[in-house]
């Protein structure tokens, strides 16, 4: 009977631990994208985050007037650096992460 009770306690503790595990850790950040200055540029940045980082489009708010993009993301799946690299790989500087030269050369003319 003692062994049975230990098993019940162990199972109960395991279930409590599993129930308390976080499944998401949402963060919202604003990333400076100084060269993002019109709708064509914001489309490139939003598409890069949505496609490369699988972030829902409604979690991304691009502001061409201020050269910034605000993103809500799950830090258990990606980091701020992942977001910055996705933007840089699309051809734009993101915070202190420089733009990919090759990607920048392939941007639409209105974004160069």
User: What's the pLDDT tens digit per position in 37-92?
Assistant: 999 999 999 999 999 899 999 999 999 999 999 999 999 999 999 999 999 999 99
Query: From CA 16, how far away is CA 26, in angstroms rounded?
Result: 23
Predicted confidence band at 93 (pLDDT cuts at 50, 70, 90)? very high
> Is 99 in contact with 85 (CB distance < 8 Å)?
no
Rounded to an integer, what distance in angstroms lies between the CA atom of residue 102 and that of residue 92?
11
pLDDT of amino acid 3? 61
Arithmetic mean of pLDDT over the chain: 89
Domain segments of the chain as ranges: 26-111
**Which option is the CATH number for 26-111: 1.10.3720.10, 3.30.70.100, 1.10.1060.10, 3.30.470.20?**
3.30.70.100
Confidence of residue 22 (pLDDT cuts 50, 70, 90): low
Helices (H), the chain: 2-19, 39-53, 80-89, 101-105
The DSSP 8-state label assigned to residue 23 in this structure reads S
Strand order from edge to edge, sheet including 26-32: 26-32, 68-74, 60-63
């Amino acid at each position: 009977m003692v062994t049975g009770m230990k098993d019940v306690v162990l199972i109960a503790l395991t279930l409590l631990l599993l129930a308390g595990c976080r499944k998401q850790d949402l963060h919202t950040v604003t990333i400076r994208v100084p060269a993002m200055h019109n709708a064509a540029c914001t489309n490139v940045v939003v598409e890069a985050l949505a496609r490369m980082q699988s972030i829902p489009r409604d979690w991304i708010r691009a502001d061409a007037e201020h050269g910034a993009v605000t993103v809500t993301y799950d830090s258990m799946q990606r980091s701020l650096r992942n977001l910055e690299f996705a933007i840089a790989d699309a051809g734009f500087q993101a915070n202190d992460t420089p733009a990919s030269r090759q990607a920048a050369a392939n941007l639409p003319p209105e974004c160069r």
